[in-house]
Amino acid sequence: MLVTGGEAGGVHGEGIGAAMAATPFDSQGHDRHEGPGDISDVKFLTVAEVATMMRVSKMTVYRLVHGGELPALRVGRSFRVTEDDVQEYLRKSFYSAG
């Protein structure tokens, strides 16, 4: 609820804090909905970049994507894979001999 004059406490004892919480921006003007999981924080990699990172061929990356083992986003005719998904795949695939 937005307080527009009158009592400083607003209606039903709600203070300015309640009015601020209702707005989509914080006191510095940043979007309250943006957080650690915000899409602008995600780093997208091309298939070639993933292949280089994993030291495999691009065809291997395409096989992983088409096989559903590595999540990917389709952008036009290209694929993009998040860096976090690559790290997660490598973490799950790690094999300890011994």
pLDDT at residue 18, as a whole number: 45
Sheet containing 73-75: which strands, arranged edge to edge?
A: 44-45, 78-82, 73-75
Q: What pLDDT band is residue 2 in, cutting at 50, 70 and 90?
A: very low
Domains of the chain, CATH where assigned: 1-30 (no CATH), 40-93 (1.10.10)
pLDDT at residue 26, as a whole number: 56
Residue showing tokens 């004059």: 5
pLDDT digits (tens, 9 = 90+) for 79-95: 999 999 999 999 999 88
Report which of 53, 89, 91, 97 is spatially closest to residue 71, judged by C-alpha positions: 89
28 pLDDT more than 60: no
Residue 43 main-chain phi, psi, to 5 deg: -100, 120
Count Cβ neighbours within 10 Å for each residue of 17-44 and write b for 16 or more, e otherwise. Answer: ebeeeeeeeeeeeeeeeeeeeeeeeeee
pLDDT digits (tens, 9 = 90+) for 34-89: 555 677 789 999 999 999 999 999 999 999 999 999 999 999 999 999 999 999 99
pTM higher than 0.75: no
